[in-house]
Chains A and B, each alone.
Chain A
Amino acid sequence: MSLSVKHLLGIKELNVTDIEQIFQTADKFKQVLQRQTKKVPTLRDITVANIFFENSTRTRLSFELAEKRLGADVVNFSASGSSVSKGETLIDTVNNILAMKVDMVVMRHSASGAPWFLANHIDASIINAGDGINEHPTQALLDAYSMREKIGDLKGKHITILGDIMHSRVALSNIYCLNKLGAKVTVAGPPTLIPKHIESLGVRVEYNIKKALEWCDVANVLRIQLERQHKPLFSTLREYALYYGVNKQMLDSLQKDIVIMHPGPINRGVEINSDVADSKQSIILDQVENGVAIRMAVIYLLSGKRELE
């Protein structure tokens, strides 16, 4: 048994069996993480390179912990302070890292599609840790895993993804993943932050936040990605917070208790208020906890593909 893919580039390429297999394996790693000895020797013969061309706190730490707890050797690379600034190309950089006998590459890159490009040129397995505004597969997996842990099987469940859909790789990966698992998805936010024709992915669009929240079982609130917005898409952050921010008062006015998620980093007081982020309804820190188990599962399941070709 192993995944149908050699790399984890995007959720788009996974099938339902792959996702179920990742969840099932993550369950077991979660058990391991709750023991006193949180480490297993499974990948003691493997070296993983974490190559980050973009900033990251959670994802990078989470991957590194996952790798170390699988017993793998880890090397870290970040673009700042590297030879990238001297003009080295992506393929050269990665090939040089692979020449040091690295078996697997975890990469984050600001260019959408960068991991696919790399996969065509190198032999090692690649895990996409976020590419531009395209996909962030492990985030979507840990989101769906956390949802399932909280509300059970996602088939027929209502999930709202809220905020900066346009610039969010988390949104796209979430949509693919939730669709595959049979959930119903609504994207909500200001019209300028929702891509045209997004309905073609099989999601509903809602511009009224209250209605979108009223409809859902789980709301995944996304960060406003100012660093990717090169032209003004709403007037001020205060205005955004006023019309599209999630606050306690709004949640209390709903008919039911919905689950609140956020992939981080949080802009408190913008897309989400502290009284929501830190409330009982929020599972933001569970997401972070599950992230390590999910990434261990992905790395473990991909490690088997190496010799098969």
Chain B
Amino acid sequence: MKTLLNKEQLNITLQRLAHQLVENHLSLKNTAIIGIQPRGILLSDRIAGLVKKITGNKHIDYGTLDITFYRDDVQSRNIHIPADTNIPFTIEGKQVILVDDVLYTGRTIRSAMDALLDFGRPEKVELLTLIDRRFSRELPIQPDYIGHTVDTILTQRVIVYWKEKDGKDEVVLIDKV
């Protein structure tokens, strides 16, 4: 097991991501942040909180998206119990920032885009990810905001731990047995 980001590094990275987001979207008047269930929302909760702090906005359009019904691994038919999708605003004509913790094959993001488009037609969709497992993509999907890039092999796994859920803030790389 190797630590990729410790608590302090993670904190600085999150600050940077939030600032980059605000830099591109300024007041976020026409921008929505949407976290991907289940683990992406832990990151998006933080990012949304930081963005509010930086911009001074009390309210930003922030939602969660579950992609269970849009997965493409239908052949293996692993049945997943879906989590909540909660998008209490229209995404029509908005700039939507999808947020997930680890970008790996890109298949989750493909599903998320399909799921998202069933809610309307956004003006633009961007992708924010904390960890980019570069060179392991199976679809042509690239993030617009990257926290940390790692080169990994198939047998490795990246896990992001969050204080709210796991009791600590840390990103680790582990070798599967």
Name the residue among B68, B76, B79 with the largest chain A CB count within 10 angstroms. B79
B81 touches A25 (CB 8 A): yes
Known pairs A28-B66, A42-B70; A35 contacts B118 (CB<8 A) = yes
Interface membership of A40, Cβ < 8 A = yes
Residues of A within 8 A of B84 (CB): 28, 31
Complex Cα distance, B78 from A301, in Å, reads 10
Instruction: Please list the residues of chain A having a beta carbon within 8 angstroms of any beta carbon in chain B.
Output: 1-2, 21, 24-25, 28, 31-32, 35-37, 39-45, 300-301, 303-308
Residue from B74, B75, B78, B118 in contact with A37 in the complex, judged by beta carbons closer than 8 Å: B118
Which residues of B (80-118) have their CB < 8 Å from a CB of A? 80-82, 84-85, 114, 118
How many positions in chain B have a CB within 8 Å of any CB in the partner chain? 20
Which partner residue on chain A sits nearest B72 by CB separation? A41
Which partner residue on chain B sits nearest A302 by CB separation? B79
| A210 → chain B closest CB, angstroms | 43
Residues of B within 8 A of A306 (CB): 77
Complex Cα distance, B79 from A28, in Å, reads 14
A303 touches B66 (CB 8 A): no
Residue from B70, B75, B77 in contact with A40 in the complex, judged by beta carbons closer than 8 Å: B70
List the 5 closest A-B pairs by CB distance, nearest first.
A304-B79, A40-B69, A37-B118, A2-B79, A42-B69
Residue from B69, B70, B81, B120 in contact with A24 in the complex, judged by beta carbons closer than 8 Å: B81
| A43 → chain B closest CB, angstroms | 8
| A172 → chain B closest CB, angstroms | 28
Which partner residue on chain B sits nearest A301 by CB separation? B79
Interface membership of B119, Cβ < 8 A = yes
B119 touches A35 (CB 8 A): yes
B76 touches A307 (CB 8 A): yes
A28 touches B77 (CB 8 A): no
Residues of B within 8 A of A1 (CB): 79-81
Residue from A39, A41, A304 in contact with B77 in the complex, judged by beta carbons closer than 8 Å: A304
Residue from A2, A41, A301 in contact with B70 in the complex, judged by beta carbons closer than 8 Å: A41
